[in-house]
Amino acid sequence: MALNPPLNHEQVVSGLSNQEFLCQYAKAGRIGLSSGLTLIDRAICRAERHVNPEEQWGSWSHAYLFQGKRLDGHHWVIESDLQIHQKHIQLGVQENRISKYFDEGFYTNLAILDFGLSEAQVSDLLGEALDLVSNHAKYSLRELFGTLVALHRPPLRSQNNVLARESSLYCSAFVQHLFKKAGLDLVPGIAIKNTTPEDIARSPAPHTTWVLQRGLPTSRLLPLKTRMRRLRARGRLARSKLARSLQDPRPLKDH
């Protein structure tokens, strides 16, 4: 039986850095939400306007599960994401240290959701998540486009993703899949592979949300043209690394 907190209670937290916020509120079994200033973040938030009856842009572009603190003394997350570290490419369900989200210029908005799960439910969540890590479940851009189609045609949202594929889950679909396995449907009426981060943020299931509110990071105080130049440069660097990795016949190295 879940130990549910008050229904949809939201607490705004200010005066903390990303690191302080995450270290204070992240616990095993809780959900993390984030968004930033990249073109991908903005594209996802724009597409999520169809979730809002007033068609306002969504606030969140990524969702993940907190795993808790491990023997190395660090908090960890389990997520389905695309990451490029030099010649090492991670595309799919993976484990990362929570320090990934300490960068306030890249992750400008953060929230943490607690659905009051029991210890048994948290254990089920983490067990299923680690099984997906072990089985190398993929991050599916194809399914993301299928969700975009469904957002434009609401009757499709309750049906299977039109571009669904086996052993693939993008970020919020991954989180919804885990919670359904643990016996909690975060977004009733929405198919797992049509779930967006904004849907999870608006879940009708009883939960508490902590939202980090702080002054704008330096990157957001810069003129728009300067910010866009930096984002384009970051995108070119990521594409260059990916191209070099795909052309290099040598085995990928762990870093």
Residue type, 92: G
User: Please, which pLDDT band fits residue 243 given cuts at 50, 70 and 90?
Assistant: low
Q: At what angle do helices 119-134 and 171-181 cross, to 10 degrees?
A: 130
Q: Which fold has domain 9-245?
A: endopeptidase fold (from Nostoc punctiforme) (3.90.1720)
Contact 5, 202 (CB under 8 A): no
Q: What are the φ and ψ backbone dihedral angles of 114, each rounded to 5 degrees?
A: -120, 115
Q: Return the sign of the alpha-carbon dihedral for residues 229, 230, 235, 241.
A: positive
Could you state, in order of their start, the residue ranges of all structural domains in the chain? 9-245
Look-up: residue for tokens 């762990």? Answer: 254
Which pLDDT score, from 0 to 100, does residue 88 have? 58
Which pLDDT score, from 0 to 100, does residue 1 have? 43
- Give dist(CA 129, CA 28) in Å, integer: 12
Q: What is the pLDDT of residues 1-30, one digit of tens each?
A: 445 445 678 999 999 999 999 999 999 999
Q: What is the pTM of this model?
A: 0.80
By three-state DSSP, how is residue 79 classified? strand
